[in-house]
Structure 1
């Protein structure tokens, strides 16, 4: 919950314009964009029931064996839900969780027990906690990026990123990781925003978060093996030295997506060149390393701000990305997160802290 105000919320907040300014022409052929009623109804019905997950953020997804889909979440509220649509003050709050979707059936996966639920993935230091980045299933094993944070002082916002890890988890038993391996963390880039298989490689998209400025970086791992040697895009080639990674562009959110699209690559992100922006934008590149150009407005989130659907100036949206397993070249399903700067709002209305889904149609 805290991260989304600082890292995610500010990921929906300000950024300075990077020197390598991008064209503002709307070259992406957007025909329409609208809420995805089927997905929104599915998760709202489940969340309002109070039987498991009632809200969270991140909202990554990946297909898993058996025709199922895994939804990957960070800060998570569990049930129950009050009759008026709020949360009890003692409602369980976890740092991460999963939902397994089997058709129209959703099941929450968490640690601990039903009577004493606990966070699913934890770091070795019990004083720290983990939020989940992108995850991808390969051969029945979930390759899950895990981002570790630690407190730096007594105040609410006194915390900092301390490292990134890879959790490998069998999809047949999502509560029992096979391994927990450190990932490159020697620079200020958090390699957690997106994972994309392209040929024999997994491309890893990271963000250098400077608060008001957020820069995109790209790495890749051969043989689709995140535990192997990584290479970092230098602007003209690849290096095995992490510090050689270059800033590709600014204006991205801490979570975004880069997916193959019509022979090119589609970048979807919050427009962090604006303060607490309600704009979800797209860019297109000829290569998975960019450059990404032709910035195009895809959707304006209706929940944001005092004029939004909640009529609440504290409500903001952030961290949109695509769901490739649900998308085609003509229709791309995108999720984004909703939160409030006032934590009390999340207990008064369970629907605020819950992802939304839209479908962007391209002509």
Structure 2
């Protein structure tokens, strides 16, 4: 397997973040899902910094901390033939707001995967709430589907509750194959890892009745029957965000290494079917930015949540991946704006 940085993609997002001087301009975000939309390539981000990057590479503190940098829990960047532009919503005062606003002041939505739906796009969002003062003191509360019409991505045309009774954050990945849309979800374990589950709907509309892959290897209409997908030894642990994309007769599961906290390793496992079992995940890349020996020489810098961008690939042996970079010390991404941006890889895999 040949693995190399997709330097042009990484540089394009860096150049876009640094060049604009609009107070509503994207300067960094995580999650980094993507999909083809009717009017361009739509990039889905969760926590997002807007504003401007100073000449020294820093950003102003966030508005909530007395600065001028808007901070949102989700946003879009739409990349068209004319270049990229940031897409947000507006609050009642006309200030930038998430395209998918939280249902109340105590909770918010983070982006999961999305798919084109003919007249625009459908995006799964997971609702979270804060449980303490730390950046990781959060809890998942439920899932919804937001539908956006082309050209009006700043507000959803509709929001529909999705199954949420089995402690599963659905929408970690959406894969369309053979007349079905497969919906992958993650269940967080007490030690911070995730277990993967699988559902499907007939056709493209996620508002249709769901079926769930069970431990008996059949589909059930009850969410409580959704089984944890298996690896070679039975248990399969993943990161919270993944991708499962078909390449020929194989499905590639892209995940962060899950048995080491804050691992910088991107791994791939393979299966003959959407529901596994998957092979042992194998490390294909270690993010050079992370940890005390990384490019930032900062023990708090981490890499996380890799996934695939199949619409950017050329043939079934080509894989384009992104991963996120952040810091466990929030001040770091204020002092160094370039930390908090996606990085991209291109892999060439042998025929399977």
Is the structural similarity TM-score above 0.5? Answer: yes
Report SS of the residue matched to 1:126: coil
Partner of 1:256: 242
Aligned CA-pair RMSD: 1.6
Report SS of the residue matched to 2:8: helix
Partner of 2:64: none
Report SS of the residue matched to 2:203: helix
Partner of 1:178: 157
1:112-152: CA deviation from partner (whole Å, max 9, x where unpaired): 17972122211332332111111111203211001111234
Partner of 2:5: 35
Q: Do residues 361 (structure 1) and 339 (structure 2) align?
A: no
Shift of 1:74: 0.5
Partner of 2:256: 270
C-alpha contact 2:188 2:195 (8 A) present in aligned 1:
yes
Moved over 6 A (4+): none
1:79-113: CA deviation from partner (whole Å, max 9, x where unpaired): 21111000101211011100000136110000117
Partner of 1:336: 323
Partner of 2:84: 106
Q: Do residues 197 (structure 1) and 197 (structure 2) align?
A: no
Partner of 1:11: none
Structure 1: give runs of 5+ residues left out of the alignment: 1-29
Distance 1:139 1:115 in 2: 30
Go from structure 1 to structure 2 and tell me whether the alpha carbon gap of 1:115 and 1:182 turns closer, same or farther (over 3 Å shift).
closer
Go from structure 1 to structure 2 and tell me whether the alpha carbon gap of 1:75 and 1:306 turns closer, same or farther (over 3 Å shift).
same
Shift of 1:154: 5.7
Shift of 1:176: 3.0
1:118-133 aligned at under 5 Å gives the runs 118-133=97-112
Structure 2: give runs of 5+ residues left out of the alignment: 62-66, 231-235
Report SS of the residue matched to 1:186: coil
Distance 2:7 2:169 in 1: 33
RCO higher in 1 or 2 (8 Å CA, sep ≥ 6)?
Answer: 1
Go from structure 1 to structure 2 and tell me whether the alpha carbon gap of 1:319 and 1:154 turns closer, same or farther (over 3 Å shift).
closer
Distance 1:127 1:275 in 2: 28
Q: Do residues 313 (structure 1) and 299 (structure 2) align?
A: yes
Partner of 2:233: none
- Between Structure 1 and Structure 2, how many residues are aligned? 332
Partner of 1:9: none
